Amino acid sequence: MKSHKITGQDFLKESGRQSSSIQLKNGSRVGVVGGGPAGSFFSYFLLGLSDRVDLKLDIDIYEPKDFSKSGPQGCNKCGGIISETLVQHLAAEGINLPASIVQRGIDSYVMHTDVGSARIETPLHEKRIGAVYRGCGPRGTEIGRWDSFDGYLLKKAIEKGAHIIKSRVDSITFIDDFPQLVYNHPEASKQTYDLVVIAHGINTSSLPNLDKIISGYRAPGHSKTFIKEYHLGSEIIEQYLGSSMHVFLLKLPRLEFAAIIPKGDFVTVCILGENIDKDLVSHFMQSPEVKSCFPPNFALDGGSCQCWPSINTRGSQRPFCDRVVFIGDSSYSRLYKDGIGAAFITAKAAANTAILQGIATEDFKRSYWPVCKRIDSDNQFGKILFLITKLFQNLRFTRRAILKTIITEQRKPQGRKIMSTVLWDLFSGSSSYREIFLNTLRLSFMGRFAWNSAVSLINISKEGNKGE
Ligand SMILES: Cc1cc2nc3c(=O)[nH]c(=O)nc-3n(C[C@H](O)[C@H](O)[C@H](O)COP(=O)(O)OP(=O)(O)OC[C@H]3O[C@@H](n4cnc5c(N)ncnc54)[C@H](O)[C@@H]3O)c2cc1C
C-alpha cells in the first residue's frame, strides 16, 4: 500500500518556500538541554512532525532531575496553575492530563483586600483551570500519592521516541560548525549534534559563555520570587479555601501578585514582584487577609518546603544561531503568568521551524523569532495592566470600587461581567494581555467603575479617612 507521508522537501515545494541552507536529514541528531515543559514539548512536537514527513531523527533530552521524587529533587519551582487555554491546547495535541496529576480543579477566585473580599466564579461557568505539582509534591508527600506534571510530559516525549540522559550539561562548544554538548556521565561525556535546543530555564546557572559562543545572544531578565508549601489536610483546605485560588490586592511595596493555591493536602503560597525578600514575605504572611485563609493560630513560619525561584521579566535577545535555538524560559515567557503556556508556544514554533523550514539562523529568524516578538509585545500590555493594578492596589477608594464592581457583577445571574472576566483572565493567564487590556476599554465598564470609584471616594471622605 502506498504511504500517505509527505517529505519535508515536498512540503516546501507545495508551500512555495525556499529550501534552507541547513536541513535536518534522516538520522540527524538533536540534543535538548533540559527536560522541563519546554524541552519535553519540543521533543514531542519534533518527533510527531518528523514522523509525518517521514524523517527519522534521534533525540537526546538531558535532564538531571528525578521528577518521581517529592521536594526539591523533583521540583521545577512554580505555582502550578495550568490555564484553560493550555488545557485546551494540550487536549488538541492528544495530551490529556490524568486525574493523578491535577491535584485540584480551580473553579473560582477569591480576591482579598483590606476592605473586604469577593468571590469571582468562572465567567460563563465553563472555564476550568488545573493546579498541579511539577514534581511529586512538597517534602513529606506520601510516595505515589500524586504524579508529576513535568514527569508526565517527559514520559510523553519518551513514548514518541526521545532518549533521556540523566545528566546535567556543563557546556556547549562548536566542532566544525556542529554544536557539541559536554556533560558528566560515566559512559560518555561529549556528544555532537545537528541541532541543539536550549531549554534549561532560568533557575539553574546557565551554560557558561553563551553570549560569546552565540553571536548577539543575551540571556532573559528575571526577578526573585517566593514559594512556600503548607500541609493543611484536605478537610481544613475545604473549610478555609475550597476549590478557589485566593489572590490578594494589598498595599505592600514591590508586591505585584500574590496567591494561595489549594492542591491535594497542601496549599502553595506564591509571591511575585520586584525582588521579593524576607521582609516583604513576613509582612505579607502576617497580614490579616492572609491569616484568614488559615486556621486560627496556624504556625505560618513553619511549612513543608520553601524556595526563592526566579521568574522572567524580559525576553532574551537573538535566541538562535545556525543549529542552536533557545525555547521556554531561556527564550521568551509571558510576564508573571502562564509560563508553561509560553513554553508550549515557543517549543511548538521551534519544532515547526526545524522541520518545515530548516535549522539555519535565517530560518529561525523568519519563522521562530516573530512568535517570540508576539509574546514580547503582548507583555508590554501586561506591564500596563500590572501598573494600573499597582495604582489601584495603593488607593483605598479604588480597592473598594473594584470589590463593589465584582460583588454587583457576581450577583447578576446573567449579562456581561467585565471586571470579573478581566480579573479572571489576569489571574489565570487564560487570555492574552492585549485582549484583557482591550476589555478594560469598554465604555460601559469604564462608566460603572468610575461611578463606583466616585461613590467609594465620597464614602471614605464621609468616614473622615483622607489619609490615602
Ligand atoms: C513563583 C513562580 C510561580 C509560577 N507559577 C506559574 C504558574 O502557576 N503557571 C505557569 O504556567 N507558570 C508559572 N511559572 C512559570 C513557569 O514555572 C516557567 O515558565 C516554566 O517552568 C518554564 O518551563 P521551561 O521548561 O522553560 O523551564 P524549567 O521549568 O525551568 O525547566 C528547565 C529544566 O532544565 C533542567 N536543566 C537546567 N539546567 C540544565 C543543564 N545544564 N543541563 C540539563 N538540564 C538542565 C532543569 O532541571 C529543568 O528541569 C511560575 C514561576 C515562578 C518563579
pLDDT digits (tens, 9 = 90+) for 168-218: 999 999 999 999 999 988 888 999 999 999 999 999 988 999 999 999 999
**Domains of the chain: residue spans and CATH:** 8-72+149-221+314-379 (3.50.50.60), 101-141+222-311 (3.30.9), 382-462 (no CATH)
Q: Which of 51, 56, 58 is nearest to 4 (CA)?
A: 51
Give me 285's grid cell: 504572611
Give the ligand 1 atom nearest the CA of 272: 1
Q: Please state, as a whole number, how many other Cβ atoms lie within 10 Å of the Cβ of residue 155.
A: 15
Give the ligand 1 atom nearest the CA of 65: 47
Q: Tell me the torsion sign for CA atoms 244, 120, 291, 429.
A: positive
Residue ranges around ligand 1 (CB below 6 Å): 33-39, 62-65, 76-81, 168-169, 199-201, 203-204, 225, 227, 270, 272, 309, 311, 328-329, 333, 338-341, 343
Give the ligand 1 atom nearest the CA of 261: 8
| pLDDT for the residue numbered 467 | 45
Question: Are residues 229 and 103 in contact, defined by beta-carbon separation less than 8 angstroms?
Answer: no
Question: Are residues 90 and 97 in contact, defined by beta-carbon separation less than 8 angstroms?
Answer: yes
The model carries a pTM of 0.94
**Backbone φ and ψ of 318, nearest 5°:** 45, 65
* Residue nearest to ligand 1 atom 12, measured at CA: 339
Question: Cα separation of 195 and 178, whole Å?
Answer: 8
| pLDDT for the residue numbered 185 | 80
Q: Which residues make Cβ contacts (< 8 Å) with residue 54, sequence separation at least 6? A: 3, 5, 6, 7
Give the ligand 1 atom nearest the CA of 339: 19
Question: Are residues 100 and 34 in contact, defined by beta-carbon separation less than 8 angstroms?
Answer: no
Question: Cα separation of 50 and 47, whole Å?
Answer: 5
Distances (CA, A) of 135 to 73, 99, 177, 179, 275: 8, 15, 37, 30, 25
* DSSP letter assigned to residue 19: P
CA of 82 to the centre of ligand 1 (A): 13
Question: Cα separation of 119 and 110, whole Å?
Answer: 4
**Backbone φ and ψ of 385, nearest 5°:** -60, -40
Cα atoms in the Cβ-side hemisphere of radius 13 Å centred on 79: 29
| pLDDT for the residue numbered 123 | 66
Question: Cα separation of 327 and 364, whole Å?
Answer: 11
Question: Cα separation of 189 and 169, whole Å?
Answer: 9
Question: Cα separation of 100 and 102, whole Å?
Answer: 6
Q: Which of 376, 427, 335, 396 is nearest to 106 (CA)?
A: 427
Give me 62's grid cell: 538531558
Tens of pLDDT, residues 222-232: 999 999 999 99
Question: Cα separation of 141 and 353, whole Å?
Answer: 41
Give the ligand 1 atom nearest the CA of 183: 42
| pLDDT for the residue numbered 187 | 80
Low-confidence residues in the chain, pLDDT < 70: 1-19, 123-127, 464-468
Q: Which of 80, 64, 36 is nearest to 330 (CA)?
A: 36
| pLDDT for the residue numbered 264 | 87
- Our mutation pick for probing the ligand 1 site, out of 62, 76, 164, counting the most ligand atoms within 8 A of Cβ, is 76
Cα atoms in the Cβ-side hemisphere of radius 13 Å centred on 240: 22
Question: Are residues 43 and 69 in contact, defined by beta-carbon separation less than 8 angstroms?
Answer: no
Range 126-129 contact pairs with CB under 8 angstroms and sequence separation of 24 or more: 127/84, 127/424, 127/428, 127/430, 128/84, 128/87, 129/81, 129/82, 129/83, 129/84, 129/87, 129/105, 129/245, 129/428, 129/430
Orientation angle between helical segments 369-394 and 339-356, nearest 10 degrees: 170
CA of 144 to the centre of ligand 1 (A): 23
